[in-house]
Amino acid sequence: MKSDDDFRVRPGRIRSRAAQRARPFIFQALAAAQRAGGHISRKGNVISSRASTFGRGRSASIRANRLITGRSRGAVVKARVVREFRGSTPLAAHLKYLGREGVSRDGEKAKMFGPDGDEADHDAFSDRCRDDRHHFRFIVSPDDAQELGDLKSFARGLMVDMERDLGTKLDWIGIDHWNTEHPHVHILVRGVADDGENLVISRDYIRQGMRDRASDILTQTLGPRTDKDIRRTVERQIDTERWTQLDRQLVRDADRLGIINLAPPGSHQPDEFLTLKIGRLRKLERLGLASEIRPGQWTIAEEAETTLHALGERGDIIKRMHRSISDHSVERGAADYVLAAGQTAEPIIGRLLERGLDDELRGSAYAVVDGVDGRVHHIRFQDLDATGDSAPGSIVELRHYKDAKGRGRVALAIRSDFSV
């Protein structure tokens, strides 16, 4: 019988440093620089750790977070790194779509802007990106964009902060959009630093640091949030059918068993948002996503976040379809909405009401078709090219095919150019 102290020796080769000592000094120095967090560029130069393989901006994201308080104004930042490869949607086409009519504040055709002026040449920017390995696409949406008003100046200030954080000048172009419920600015950045090396940005900076910088600029411009502002923001989240900041807070409030204790405290100061949290949990309970296991004690379902994200997306699609049929004076009830058309082989023929980008970062597209079957179909596509080039009002048909890799795809084909 073996005791707890038994162990088995596995002899191995003793590591020798003789070979390392025999290496030329320059190789030992370069190796030491890399172990210290430095990086060896393509040209053989030792550059600072901020340009390491982990990306620039790691420490800056920590510094930016120190500026954020409970009264800071918020901003949403979405980001995507787009690698250039054969068959990918050209950047020029993406820029052209971003500058389409109807997205500006006055409803006219939008104009690109840059660090030095309100008019930037998007074709020249696209040409500069032609041989780059990748580029960055950012969407920045300040919480108080309407009050802020000037998104161009806001974007320029953010890019100045980013240049300081990343330790390089940035070649970028931007455009502000006011055609949605949440005004936002698109910023595209070349994936090249000012030393000619590929620009690699830390994931921490993209995920948190950039958002904190945007939040700090917004707070400095409009001032900190008041108690009334904070309460109004939380109140708006109570009945929302999407994943909210209040939901994240409730998850953080849970103990290790997942129980959220909202029972009225005894001698302790009551939570000022107690009634709002209970109101949100009651809403989640009606959706089947929360349960009150004992008076004042709640649990949230594990699938709550996934379900609420799906509900939010569904709500966005319904708003989009309702806008399309209203713009074309089409009368259809909610029962006639087909939200996930195109996922089956069912043929769809009808009048094209609207097309556009479903995800402005990834470049995926959508189309809304008023079908001959009396229903309105919302169809998703891999890219905007798959929606065809027919004008709204044209008769189109959804066709299914397989691409070169055997994957199922869908595309719209024109049946008639005449508007109906």
Which amino acid, one-letter code, is at 167? G
Q: Starting at the edge strand that comes first in sequence, how are the strands of the sheet with 297-300 ordered? A: 260-261, 297-300, 290-294
Give the contacts of 1 (CB within 8 A, at least 6 positions apart). Answer: none
Percentage of the chain lying above the pLDDT 90 cut = 54
Q: At which residue do the structure tokens 């006639």 appear?
A: 336
Quote the mean pLDDT of the chain. Answer: 85
pLDDT digits (tens, 9 = 90+) for 228-274: 999 999 999 999 999 999 999 999 999 999 999 988 766 666 677 89
Q: Are 363 and 357 in contact (CB under 8 A)?
A: yes
Band of the pLDDT at 103, cuts 50, 70, 90? confident
Q: Is the pLDDT of residue 346 over 90?
A: no
175: which 2 tokens? 């455009």
Q: What is the pLDDT of residue 21?
A: 47
Per-residue pLDDT, averaged over 2-23, amounts to: 51
Q: What is the pLDDT of residue 379?
A: 94
**Which residues on adjacent β-strands are paired with residue 172?**
189
Band of the pLDDT at 81, cuts 50, 70, 90? very high
pLDDT digits (tens, 9 = 90+) for 18-62: 444 445 555 556 555 554 445 554 445 555 544 344 688 877 777
* Domains defined along the chain, listed by start: 20-49 (no CATH), 57-222 (3.30.930), 229-302 (no CATH), 310-416 (no CATH)
Q: What is the pLDDT of residue 267?
A: 60
Q: Is the pLDDT of residue 330 over 50?
A: yes
Q: At which residue do the structure tokens 């979405």 appear?
A: 78
Q: Are 184 and 140 in contact (CB under 8 A)?
A: yes
Q: Are 366 and 378 in contact (CB under 8 A)?
A: yes
240: which 2 tokens? 């929302």
Residue (of 137, 47, 50, 57) closest to 89 by Cα position: 137
Query: How many other C-beta atoms lie within 10 A of the C-beta of residue 407?
Result: 9
Q: Is the pLDDT of residue 3 over 60?
A: no
Which amino acid, one-letter code, is at 135? H
314 HSE (CA, 13 A, CB side): 15
Q: Is the pLDDT of residue 412 over 80?
A: yes
Q: Is the pLDDT of residue 108 over 80?
A: no
Q: Are 410 and 346 in contact (CB under 8 A)?
A: no
Q: Is the model more confident about 165 or about 341?
A: 165
Q: At which residue do the structure tokens 């089409």 appear?
A: 330
Most confident range (mean pLDDT) of 46-50, 173-177, 383-387 is: 173-177
Band of the pLDDT at 69, cuts 50, 70, 90? confident
Query: Residue 251: left (phi > 0), alpha (psi -120 to 50), or beta?
Result: alpha
Give the contacts of 129 (CB within 8 A, at least 6 positions apart). Answer: 84, 91, 135, 190, 191
Give the contacts of 399 (CB within 8 A, at least 6 positions apart). Answer: 410, 411, 412, 413
Q: Is the model more confident about 358 or about 61?
A: 358
Q: What is the pLDDT of residue 37?
A: 47
Q: At which residue do the structure tokens 């980001």 appear?
A: 79
Q: What is the pLDDT of residue 13?
A: 47
3-state SS, one letter per residue, for 153-221: HHHHHHHHHHHHHHCCCCCEEEEEECCCCCCEEEEEEECECCCCCECCECHHHHHHHHHHHHHHHHHHH
Q: Is the pLDDT of residue 294 over 50?
A: yes
Q: Are 163 and 170 in contact (CB under 8 A)?
A: yes
Band of the pLDDT at 377, cuts 50, 70, 90? very high
Per-residue pLDDT, averaged over 384-403, amounts to: 90
1: which 2 tokens? 């019988």
Per-residue pLDDT, averaged over 268-294, amounts to: 90
Backbone angles phi, psi at 359, to 5 degrees: -130, 110
